[in-house]
Structure 1
Amino acid sequence: MTDTDAQDDETSVTRVRTLADLAKIAGVSPGTVSRALAGNSLVNTKTREKIEAIAREHGFRPNQMASKLRRQKTGVIGVAIPLGHDERQRISDTFFMTLLGHLADELTEKGYDLMLRRVIPAQDEDWLDRLIGSGMVDGVIVIGQSDQFERIEDVADGYLPMVVWGNHQEGQRHCVVGTDNRLGGKLAAERLIASGAKKLAFLGDTQPIEFAARFAGAIEVAEKLGVPIRALPAHLSPERTGEEIAQHLQEIEGKVDGIFAATDTIAVACLKKLRERGTDVPRQIKVVGFDDLPISGQTVPPLTTVRQDIAAGAKGLVDLLLRRLGGDDTESLVLPPHLIGRESA
């Protein structure tokens, strides 16, 4: 007998005791194996047939009690925050904490607990599959599409009880709740220009879908009115934001007189750096943020911003998810933005 024959013979008699054992042989995640053996349409036909064949070959039978438990209600909703575009961002970010607070209130009132996961997709490509297949949650809320749009779209094809906070695009398959970000960007640019700004900058990362839509709206208005606008990348991780903003402000001194910050968090950091430089806001530079977080009315000067109704968004996320848990294939909910005029522009 050759070494190859011996290896093949050893593989053929290997006992597969767990989903993890079977997943290792099939080259997929345990969650994919679980769904394949349950006949879930989330797994494509070719992969499911491959897994079923391997299971038959090894005489594998899934634990019936575990399967039964997975079919029972847990009373828990999984909330995932994927950070594919900025891995060092923190859940302690004011926007996340505001939205999570409202979500916790809504879910608790409906009799559900919340299980929170901060996800780094580069370290866990199957993050959404594993959460759904864990048997620990009845449904999933994803906060932010980040750079995971296609992953979310794929899962939405076969998994109904999932709702996403983010930006809605025509033709997308996953259900989303969020603000009309493009319109919000238009409102911000219009305010800056109406206040006398003649050279604009967008301060923030333009890769995340929501931020890209805000920048696109600002560009539309700026081009229509003949006002130049540039993008200045800024991350949301605390250890990088201040340094990046300080560098940008040094580079654009005298070249920009209106800043549209992608978030209030960035805008607040910008106001701080401008104050440290002795720059008068709004006389020398006007600043508009986005979110209308509680801190925006407490800055010096108070921040003009585009308000997205986070409380209404949280309620919409929970309401749509509960309808989906009941089998209703719901439409997305797009909330209107509102300009909140204060002293910074």
Structure 2
Amino acid sequence: MTAPHPDPNLAISSLADLARAAGTSVSTASRALSGHSSVNEQTRARIRDLADTHGFQPNQLARNLRMQRTQAIGLVLPLGHETGQHLSDPFFLSLLGHLADGLTERGYDLMLSRVIPRDGDWLDRLVDSGRIDGLILIGQSDQDAVIDRVAARYPPIAVWGAQLPGQRYVTVGSDNRLGGLRATEHLIAIGRQRLLYLGNTSAPEFAERLAGFREAVDSAGPGVTGEMLDLHLTPDAAYAAIAAYLSDHPAPDGIFAASDVVAMSALRALREHGLDVPRDVAVVGYDDVTLAAHTTPALTTVRQDLVSGAAALIDIVFKRIAGQPATSRLLDPTLIIRGSTVV
């Protein structure tokens, strides 16, 4: 039997039109377009060519529904600890860009959300919404118990953040304690003795950075002291807290900030109090966001490998979607020395 010759004037606007033109059933045409092995290669090629000739695109949404796939991955910034933080945060935007590129390469869309948890069911609502095939969380915030509970029944979750003892969910993140240790040891190595940590401990990542700071101070011996200024991590709040501290206390000679955003706020406050960076006060940040190299002076900081981190998060989610095992990854932080600590 000779296959029907494509009519160039034929309008094909539905799968039924395509099947009719190809002389097959609708189900055969659908399987051919999806590359199903139940349709022989000759027939698959003929139907694909016919669809291409007439510019026909199958209804991807309908196909996804049949496959129980949405072709979307959720990306969520949970803000239980820092409700004033926004999606415009430089670190978040940097990681978001790498994740968006990686998901696009896999043919997936990204569904972006900023969540302020109001109850213990916020994550359940997300994973049960039917709108995503998997979920990437940027940070645990103070929600690790909620994440652990949901991850026990919903495997395709990957979290950018710290590894916590006994957790069931999979994480990717830098060794924050080691990063804090390296930043503080650098300040001590350049002769700074009155050190100040700017941040808080409400999220595990920042608690680990503080632990690295304290370890370096404790190991330095007599003469080196370290204090902590507990503050919010948004730019205006951090600036206000640092300015108030400088008005009431002697200035430190070295500052380790929990993030580059906080470090930039410190540069502003120090300048407005007539203090020179780095002559009077050396400053180290954390993250190495794009702006860090363009401050005055350029910011010494701890770089997190966001390219590798984003790739690992995506790999974990797709492995878990496929029912495969995945393990957490700990990335090595790198100290980037710039003008804020070089006299």
TM-score (normalised: structure 2): 0.78
CA distance in 2: counterparts of 1:257 and 1:217, whole angstroms: 18
User: Are 1:285 and 2:281 an aligned pair?
Assistant: yes
Correspondences of 1:133-152 after superposition (within 5 Å): 133-152=128-147
2:225 maps to amino acid:
P
* Secondary structure in structure 2 of the residue aligned to 1:78: strand
Spell out, residue by residue over 1:68-104, the C-alpha distance to the aligned partner (whole angstroms, 9 max, x if none).
Answer: 9597000000111110011111111111111111111
Q: How far did residue 124 of structure 1 move?
A: 4.2
CA distance in 2: counterparts of 1:192 and 1:222, whole angstroms: 10
User: Are 1:299 and 2:318 an aligned pair?
Assistant: no
Counterpart pick for 2:108 among 112, 130, 146? 112
- Judged with a 3 Å threshold, the aligned counterparts in structure 2 of structure 1 residues 115 and 241 are, in CA distance, closer, same or farther, namely same
User: Are 1:177 and 2:172 an aligned pair?
Assistant: yes
User: Are 1:231 and 2:228 an aligned pair?
Assistant: yes
Q: How far did residue 141 of structure 1 move?
A: 0.4
Correspondences of 1:124-135 after superposition (within 5 Å): 124-135=119-130
Correspondences of 1:155-304 after superposition (within 5 Å): 155-226=150-221, 227-254=224-251, 256-304=252-300
Q: How far did residue 320 of structure 1 move?
A: 1.2
2:302 maps to amino acid:
V
CA distance in 1: counterparts of 2:143 and 2:67, whole angstroms: 27
1:299 maps to amino acid:
T
1:320 match: 316
CA distance in 2: counterparts of 1:186 and 1:210, whole angstroms: 13
* Secondary structure in structure 2 of the residue aligned to 1:118: strand
CA distance in 2: counterparts of 1:137 and 1:198, whole angstroms: 50
Structure 2 residues not aligned, in runs of 5+: 1-63
CA distance in 2: counterparts of 1:251 and 1:207, whole angstroms: 25
Identical aligned pairs, as a percentage? Answer: 51
* Secondary structure in structure 2 of the residue aligned to 1:80: strand
Equivalent residues of 1:89, 1:238 under 8 A apart: no
Structure 1 residues not aligned, in runs of 5+: 1-67
Equivalent residues of 1:264, 1:292 under 8 A apart: yes
CA distance in 1: counterparts of 2:307 and 2:246, whole angstroms: 33
State the number of aligned residues.
277
Spell out, residue by residue over 1:276-333, the C-alpha distance to the aligned partner (whole angstroms, 9 max, x if none).
Answer: 2220111111110000111111111111111111121111111111111111121101
* Secondary structure in structure 2 of the residue aligned to 1:102: helix
1:41 match: none
Q: How far did residue 237 of structure 1 move?
A: 2.7
Spell out, residue by residue over 1:197-220, the C-alpha distance to the aligned partner (whole angstroms, 9 max, x if none).
Answer: 101111011221100000001101
Equivalent residues of 1:89, 1:237 under 8 A apart: yes
Counterpart pick for 1:75 among 71, 76, 91? 71
TM-score (normalised: structure 1): 0.77
* Secondary structure in structure 2 of the residue aligned to 1:253: coil
Counterpart pick for 1:335 among 331, 334, 339? 331
2:94 maps to amino acid:
T
* Secondary structure in structure 2 of the residue aligned to 1:243: helix
**Which protein shows a greater Rg?**
2
Counterpart pick for 1:90 among 86, 93, 101? 86
Q: Select between 187-196 and 271-280 the one with higher mean Cα deviation.
A: 271-280
Q: Select between 269-278 and 257-266 the one with higher mean Cα deviation.
A: 269-278
* Secondary structure in structure 2 of the residue aligned to 1:92: coil
* Secondary structure in structure 1 of the residue aligned to 2:245: helix
Q: How far did residue 258 of structure 1 move?
A: 0.8
Q: How far did residue 173 of structure 1 move?
A: 1.3
* Secondary structure in structure 2 of the residue aligned to 1:246: helix
Q: Select between 229-238 and 88-97 the one with higher mean Cα deviation.
A: 229-238
* Secondary structure in structure 1 of the residue aligned to 2:159: strand
* Secondary structure in structure 2 of the residue aligned to 1:91: coil
CA distance in 1: counterparts of 2:214 and 2:241, whole angstroms: 22
* Secondary structure in structure 2 of the residue aligned to 1:125: coil
Supply the RMSD in Å over aligned alpha carbons: 1.7
CA distance in 1: counterparts of 2:246 and 2:294, whole angstroms: 22
CA distance in 2: counterparts of 1:250 and 1:70, whole angstroms: 64
Equivalent residues of 2:302, 2:333 under 8 A apart: yes
CA distance in 2: counterparts of 1:141 and 1:242, whole angstroms: 30
1:57 match: none
CA distance in 1: counterparts of 2:244 and 2:109, whole angstroms: 43
2:156 maps to amino acid:
P
CA distance in 2: counterparts of 1:201 and 1:236, whole angstroms: 15
* Secondary structure in structure 2 of the residue aligned to 1:306: strand
